[in-house]
A and B are shown apart, each in its own frame.
Chain A
Amino acid sequence: MRFLTQDPTLADFGHDPWWLILLKIVVAFIFGMSMILLGVWFERRVVARMAVRPGLNQVGPFGLLQTLADGIKGILKEDLLPRTADKVVFFFAPTVPAIFALTALSVIPFGPMVSIFGVQTPLQVTDVPVAVLVVLACSAMGIYGIVLGGWASGSTYPLLGGLRSSAQMISYEVAMGLSIVAVFMTAGTMSTSGIVAAQAGGSEASWSIFGWHPTVPSWYAILLIPSFLIFVVSAFGETNRAPFDLPEAETELVAGYMTEYSSIKFLLYLLSEYVAMVVMSSIIATMFLGGWRAPWPITAFWSGANSGWWPLLWFLAKVVLLLFIFVWVRATLPRLRYDQFMKLGWKVLLPVNLIWILLLGGLRVMQDEQFSGRNRWLIIGGAVVAVLLVALLWPARKAEPKTTLEEQMSARPSGSFPLPPLDLQVPPSPRAKRVVAERRPANVTASGAGSGQVADADTDADEKEV
């Protein structure tokens, strides 16, 4: 047995016999589908635990078969078609997100070169020089299913949900695409297997801090931490997951774009959300967490951790960890308001991303060109001083002139809505009364004391009156 990591390169793809290609596609498909079943179970179970409930525990061991039972029940339900719907689009819209999410799985590297029935092959369906763009394109195409489903229902709430989702996904796609730029710049390639290979091991930095060459961390999640954080946040936005699940905010839009859907079409929408989640987790694992490579403490004492079929285990562990984070965030954070959400995307994530890319580009130029030691530090110091000066001299926001209520009312244009009389008396808080009631001295007396029993009877009567 060879204990050598075999990194697949682009040249290793495209030599598989037809049966192996078919096998890989089928296995990737089965991976996606089984991750849906397990993902729904995992989410319901974890959320239940976080809410101190037992969660699924009736069907099968640990409730594992509940999702299957729900799926069968869903398929057997009546398929409703609204009379105002656009029938063709209503029919094919639910299939779009699921199809494109599953397509994106084809460029995810699950492992290194392995031997399948005697054929040496990478554990990945295919790879192209621009594989990451394929993933982004697939997630962009998934929007159509939601927009068209919402529109074709011929109903108001689904239309609003569809519009929200399209605005949301386009906005967050920009942030997502930009955050990957830093990965391209560092890895020097856009192929997924190449990005995994680029995170192979920490190399010594070319620069030094007083003679000490620090080892550059190999995972891009650490090396490019702003990109990593932005990518994770925009992945939440892109998959419509809580706290960004505005297209299906049930307090505002019933169920958003899938309100009019039922039976298997509804299931397809539900399923596509989980496929998208699994695909996003796989992409984050591939691009920022070293892909199928074993994490550091394992590689330190086990040299064979990155060879053979073991990497599949590390990859799945990373995906499950990221799925847990998706679920954890959902169980923790409340839903954002729409304007807050858009503000976060356009006014925070995007500018931070651009500045970070600029910074990274500057650093790389300094590494490439032969700057001598003193010049380099001068440039860095100059940049820092410039940033500090800009931050210091940035014009402060003008304080808004405060107007009284009367001024605001008189400033309203003619024809405005009539106002009710503003003489509202705020009643005292009921809480004050309760505090008084709680302060009533408790009657803790020895048994048989007559006065104590009388007092008890009194309070009982009071409570009955109330």
Chain B
Amino acid sequence: MTTADVLMLALGAVAVGAAAAVVTTRQIVRAGLWLVVALGSLAGLYLVLSAELVAWVQVLIYVGAVVVLLLFAVMLTRAPIGVSEDLDRSRWPGLLIGGGAGLGLAALLIDAYQWSTVDLADGAGAEEVGAAIFRSWVLPFEVLSVLLLAALVGAIVISRPDVSARVGR
């Protein structure tokens, strides 16, 4: 077992544990903080796989912006300090669906990749990732951006009463 394997296992354990804490904690802001730990250890996993660009973009966007926005939204509406008793948690269906999805994906990935290896000489730097995204995968990339734009417009329509009233009429 190399150092990379040990780091991989440790970070994976941290990610899974933190993710479990996200859904089991009874304090809503703490759940957001556990999400930070989970996403951060995921970034660590990318670093171990020597995908530096992906790792730092993960920190920059998911940890640095998305979770902050989540916390922002939570604090704007309701962020009590301490335990919230009324958090909706129906345990068994959640466990079933979450565990099923996780195990199913794990089985799928293990079956798909087996023990195949990837040559690191290909690299996962900014240049390679950029070339891949903007050459072979440019269509999905643009479709994704259109999807995000549609979500943005939808959010504005829902949140502005004057616009939604006009649309409804």
Q: Does B14 contact A (CB under 8 A)?
A: no
A140–B60 Cα distance when bound, in Å, is 6
Q: Does A267 contact B (CB under 8 A)?
A: no
Q: Does B48 contact A (CB under 8 A)?
A: no
A86–B75 Cα distance when bound, in Å, is 14
Partner of A147 from B27, B57, B59, B68 at Cβ < 8 Å: B68
Output the residue of A84, A141, A152, A159 with the most chain B CB within 10 A. Answer: A141
A173 near B64 with CB under 8 A, answer: yes
A33–B144 Cα distance when bound, in Å, is 44
A86–B33 Cα distance when bound, in Å, is 13
Q: Mark B25-37, 1 if CB is under 8 A from A, else 0.
A: 0010110010010
B75 near A129 with CB under 8 A, answer: no
Binds B, one of A20-28, A161-169, A297-305, A458-466: A161-169
Q: Mark A120-153, 1 if CB is under 8 A from B, else 0.
A: 0000000011100110110011011001100110
A285 to chain B, nearest CB (A): 22
Q: Mark B67-79, 1 if CB is under 8 A from A, else 0.
A: 0110110011001
B81 near A154 with CB under 8 A, answer: yes
Task: Report A-chain residues with C-beta under 8 Å of the C-beta of B65.
Answer: 140, 170, 173
Knowing A86-B81, A86-B82, A129-B52, the reply to whether A141 touches B63 (Cβ < 8 A) is yes
The number of chain B residues with a CB under 8 A from chain A is 25
Q: Does B21 contact A (CB under 8 A)?
A: no
B56 near A130 with CB under 8 A, answer: yes
Knowing A129-B125, A166-B71, A170-B65, the reply to whether A141 touches B52 (Cβ < 8 A) is no
Q: Does B53 contact A (CB under 8 A)?
A: yes
Instruction: Enumerate A272-286 residues with CB–CB distance to B below 8 Å.
Output: none
Knowing A137-B56, A152-B81, the reply to whether A162 touches B64 (Cβ < 8 A) is no
* Closest B residue, CB atoms, query A162: B75
A84–B56 Cα distance when bound, in Å, is 36
Task: Report B-chain residues with C-beta under 8 Å of the C-beta of A144.
Answer: 36, 68
A379 to chain B, nearest CB (A): 22
Q: Does A320 contact B (CB under 8 A)?
A: no
Q: Mark A175-199, 1 if CB is under 8 A from B, else 0.
A: 0010000000000001000000000
Knowing A86-B82, A143-B64, A173-B65, the reply to whether A133 touches B72 (Cβ < 8 A) is no
A89–B68 Cα distance when bound, in Å, is 15
A365 to chain B, nearest CB (A): 13
Knowing A137-B56, A140-B59, A151-B29, the reply to whether A129 touches B126 (Cβ < 8 A) is yes
Q: Does A85 contact B (CB under 8 A)?
A: yes
Task: Report A-chain residues with C-beta under 8 Å of the C-beta of B69.
Answer: 170
Partner of A190 from B27, B76, B79, B126 at Cβ < 8 Å: B126
A133–B52 Cα distance when bound, in Å, is 10
A307 to chain B, nearest CB (A): 30
A141 near B59 with CB under 8 A, answer: yes
A151–B82 Cα distance when bound, in Å, is 12
A140–B61 Cα distance when bound, in Å, is 9
B45 to chain A, nearest CB (A): 16
B76 near A163 with CB under 8 A, answer: yes
* Closest B residue, CB atoms, query A143: B68
A184–B65 Cα distance when bound, in Å, is 21
A173–B63 Cα distance when bound, in Å, is 13
Knowing A129-B125, A133-B53, the reply to whether A166 touches B72 (Cβ < 8 A) is yes
Task: Report A-chain residues with C-beta under 8 Å of the C-beta of B57.
Answer: 133
A183 to chain B, nearest CB (A): 13
* 5 residue pairs A–B, Cβ–Cβ below 8 Å: A129-B52, A136-B60, A148-B29, A166-B68, A190-B126
The 5 closest A-B pairs by CB, nearest first: A140-B64, A133-B56, A137-B59, A137-B60, A86-B81
Residues on B lying within 8 angstroms of A by beta carbon are 27, 29-30, 33, 36, 52-53, 56-57, 59-60, 63-65, 68-69, 71-72, 75-76, 79, 81-82, 125-126
